Amino acid sequence: MAGFAPGLVAQTTGKTATESGPIQITADELVSQVKDDYAEFIGNVEAVQGDFVIRSDRLRIHYRRAAGQATPDPAGGNAIEKIEAIGRVRIKSGSREAQTELAEYLVDEGLVVLKGKDSIVTDGSNSIRGSMIKLNRLDGKISVVGGPTERVRAVFHPPNRTPNTGEEGKGQ
């Protein structure tokens, strides 16, 4: 798939969430469940880290609990295990955008999973659509699965080429 979607894959690889600077989150409400190792932001949620922006109805952050530790330490390094965005999820990073009903980011694996009918990732005029889209930020691998009533759909626009020369980027 990577060979067919260079624009969509090329920029998914990169730093993990903990390597790219602080994450700023705004929402209407915050509910923290320390004993259950999570915090949930509710209503008009916006999470920003550099040029990476997630908007959703809810955002739940699952904390990692160290062995023998009674409660997680959200202020400690590498404390975030998983981030879930739920409801009308919109993700933007540079020229790439994604829309879905549920997005999960597994921090250690660098894996973003979009779930829901008609989940879509676009980069300019190129797009991939399916009921589950997995984007690995560490190795650039993308996998897309259709649903019971839908098939995977991809639309790729090749770069402009001059007739008979094969040169890229020149107008016709």
Task: Name the band, by pLDDT with cuts 50, 70 and 90, for residue 4.
Answer: very low
Q: Would you say residue 3 has pLDDT above 90?
A: no
Q: Would you say residue 158 has pLDDT above 50?
A: yes
pLDDT tens for 11-47 read 444 444 445 688 899 999 999 988 888 999 999 999 9
Q: Would you say residue 9 has pLDDT above 50?
A: no
In angstroms, rounded to a whole number, what is the distance separating the alpha carbons of residues 80 and 66?
A: 11
Average per-residue pLDDT in the chain? 81
Of 46, 47, 81, the C-alpha closest to 62 is: 81
For residues 75-85, average pLDDT: 76
In the chain, the percentage of residues whose pLDDT exceeds 70 is 74
Of 13, 2, 148, 5, the C-alpha closest to 93 is: 13
pLDDT at 137: 83
Q: Which segments within 2-125 are labelled E, that is strand?
A: 24-26, 29-33, 38-49, 52-63, 80-93, 96-106, 111-123
For the chain, which residues make up each domain, given as ranges?
Answer: 6-155
Q: Would you say residue 161 has pLDDT above 80?
A: no
Select the CATH number that applies to the domain covering 6-155 from these four: 2.60.450.10, 3.30.930.10, 1.10.3720.10, 2.60.120.10. Answer: 2.60.450.10
Count of beta carbons in the 10 Å neighbourhood of residue 52: 18
